[in-house]
Chain A
Amino acid sequence: MLVLSRHAGESVVIANDIVVTILEVRGDVVRVGIEAPRHIQVHREEVHRELQAANQAAAASASPEAISGLAAILAGAEAGAEAEAAGGAAVLPVEPEAGPSGDAH
């Protein structure tokens, strides 16, 4: 790991377009400002780690049994709430499966 010493107000530049600035140091808390291109998502490490684990668990759970079970639950939920569903969540535009799909553009 690269270790650098910085004062409050000083920055570190990563790969030309990411700037990490130490804003304030108070006791054992450091406030850090990060400027990065929009496709670079910045998160606290513990949140990101938890999301990684949650996504991998979700992928591992996506079995054919899970799909048929969920489809049955959803069919029941839809039947029960059909009248209210009119103004509910938007539905993605869906095109029927038509063999090998061509280029979108």
Chain B
Amino acid sequence: MPTTTTVLPTLHFPSGIPGFPGRHEFMLEGLDPLGALFDLHCQDDPSIRLLLVPPGVFFPEYLPELDQASIDLLGLVDGDEAQILVVLTTGATAAAATANLLAPIVVNIRTGDAAQVILSGSGLPIRAPIAC
């Protein structure tokens, strides 16, 4: 029977993730039945764990534009291949969480390659409150 927990293939981050040096392989796990909350974690180090959401739930206007270097890095040939997820940081309560809109996680869902892309010059916040 399906459970509320789902597992995706390992994601490969060729450039790593800033703050977690030397880590390139991460597992992306769905945490809720709606497919709206994901856990990106490093199998070898349980302290490395990021909560991700598709941005549309909280930021329907958010449409990040990837630069050519990122498109090349991820081997994206079609916009439909790119899945955008944003990193959440919770505060004292979950409702006080912020999302990193400056540097989304971009996944090539065809290849499993992924990167945290800094949207240089976008002026987007690194800590955007999710509260409406």
Chain A residues with a Cβ under 8 A of chain B: 38-41, 43-44, 47-48, 50-59, 61-63, 65-75, 77-78, 81, 84-85, 88-97, 101, 104
Is there an interface contact between A95 and B90, defined as CB atoms closer than 8 Å?
no
Cα of A52 to Cα of B19 in the assembled complex, Å: 4
The closest CB in chain A to the CB of B59 belongs to A89
Is there an interface contact between A88 and B14, defined as CB atoms closer than 8 Å?
no
Is there an interface contact between B83 and A90, defined as CB atoms closer than 8 Å?
yes
Q: Is B54 an interface residue (CB 8 A)?
A: yes
Secondary structure class of chain A's binding surface, majority of residues: helix
Cα of A16 to Cα of B2 in the assembled complex, Å: 50
Is there an interface contact between A94 and B8, defined as CB atoms closer than 8 Å?
yes
Q: By the criterion of a CB under 8 Å from any partner CB, how many residues of chain B are at the interface?
A: 64
Q: A91-B35, A96-B6 are in contact. Are A55 and B58 (CB under 8 A)?
A: no
Cα of A73 to Cα of B93 in the assembled complex, Å: 11
Is there an interface contact between B37 and A74, defined as CB atoms closer than 8 Å?
yes
Is there an interface contact between B37 and A70, defined as CB atoms closer than 8 Å?
yes
Is there an interface contact between A54 and B127, defined as CB atoms closer than 8 Å?
yes
Q: A43-B120, A69-B94 are in contact. Are A92 and B112 (CB under 8 A)?
A: no
Q: A51-B118, A52-B18, A92-B83 are in contact. Are A72 and B34 (CB under 8 A)?
A: no
Is there an interface contact between B10 and A104, defined as CB atoms closer than 8 Å?
yes
Residues of B near A72 (CB, < 8 A) are 94
Is there an interface contact between A74 and B57, defined as CB atoms closer than 8 Å?
yes
Is there an interface contact between A92 and B73, defined as CB atoms closer than 8 Å?
no
User: Of residues 85 to 132 in B, which have CB atoms within 8 Å of A's CB atoms?
Assistant: 87-91, 93-95, 97, 100, 102-103, 107, 109, 112, 115-116, 118, 120, 126-127, 130
Shortest CB-to-CB span from A31 to chain B, Å, is: 15
Cα of A48 to Cα of B5 in the assembled complex, Å: 33
5 A-B pairs with CB atoms under 8 Å apart are A59-B48, A78-B36, A89-B56, A92-B28, A92-B107
